Amino acid sequence: MKTPKRLLPLVADGLIDEVLYPLMSGKEADVFVVRCGRHERCAKIYKDASKRSFKKAAQYTEGRKVRNSRRARAMEKGSRYGRQEQEDVWQNAEVDALYRLAAAGVRVPEPFGCVDGVLIMELITDGEGDVAPRLNDVTMSAEQAREDHHLIMVDIMRMLCAGLIHGDLSEFNVLLDETGPVIIDLPQAVFAAANNNAQAMLERDVANITNYYAMFAPELLNSHYAQEIWAAFEAGDLHPDMELTGEFELDEHEANVDSVMLEIKAALAEQEELQERLRAAEEDDD
């Protein structure tokens, strides 16, 4: 096939020997299967910001640190240089996350580097050596659903132990190789301790995965992994070997609305009384 323009420099430099075929086109990147020596790998070409359709990207980049102060200032100002630097941060975020998560024991593709907005990484295959299917393309028994669901919950927990939350996890970015689920697509991964949306994103990731597996094992809808994981994280008790149960005692106490309203009224009355005293003091001065 004709080599995509963005891959030509990598072919010229010998990083890629041959482009074999397109694998997929997504909202933030196009992916090709390439040959690197004796190995088949993936080449993920990130789309420019103007062509990406990833929604609310600011929520995901919140808390990402830029070591170079000049770069940070340029990104804040939104200059041309700053926009390019923002692109570099976005594109390098995935390879950084892959290295970090692999070291934490999370099942993700092995990265081999990111050059000029192209990420070279492991091609995930099934037991027969074919490209691994996405989770949304398979059906399974209830027993298999429970087993794989738990594996992903453990990976989500280990991601948080490494300080990260996927932020866009669903059945569309999980692959199934011969031994189980593999999590992909991480350019939007967020730093949990520095992002105000972290808890909501974790809960959404867990809900997306749980809702899918619940089609095969409905009882999974009664689990509370997100709350269990986040509570341990907030308490400083989360660790990679923590035994997850999916059980968590939710706070179901209803808020005492009458009491809250009385407090608000009392505060307003106190404020009004203060304003009246100030007005009286001003009249006395006159």
The residues assigned a catalytic role are 168, 185
Hunting for tokens 């809900």 — which residue is that? 207
DSSP helix/strand/coil, 147: helix
Q: Per the structure block, which two tokens stand in for 226?
A: 């997100």
Hunting for tokens 């919950």 — which residue is that? 153
Q: Per the structure block, which two tokens stand in for 24?
A: 């997929």
What is the rounded CA–CA span in Å between residue 151 and residue 102?
15
Tallying the residues shown for the chain, one arrives at 286
What is the rounded CA–CA span in Å between residue 258 and residue 39?
67
What is the rounded CA–CA span in Å between residue 165 and residue 206?
11
Q: Which residues neighbour 105 within 8 Å (Cβ) at sequence distance 6 or greater?
A: 158, 240
Hunting for tokens 């009355």 — which residue is that? 269
- Buried/exposed 34-71: b ≥16 CB within 10 Å, e otherwise: bebeeebbbbbbbbeeeebebeeeebbbeebebeeeeb
Per the CB < 8 A criterion, the answer to whether 47 and 30 are in contact is yes
Please, how many CA atoms are within 13 Å of residue 89, restricted to the half-sphere of its CB?
Answer: 23
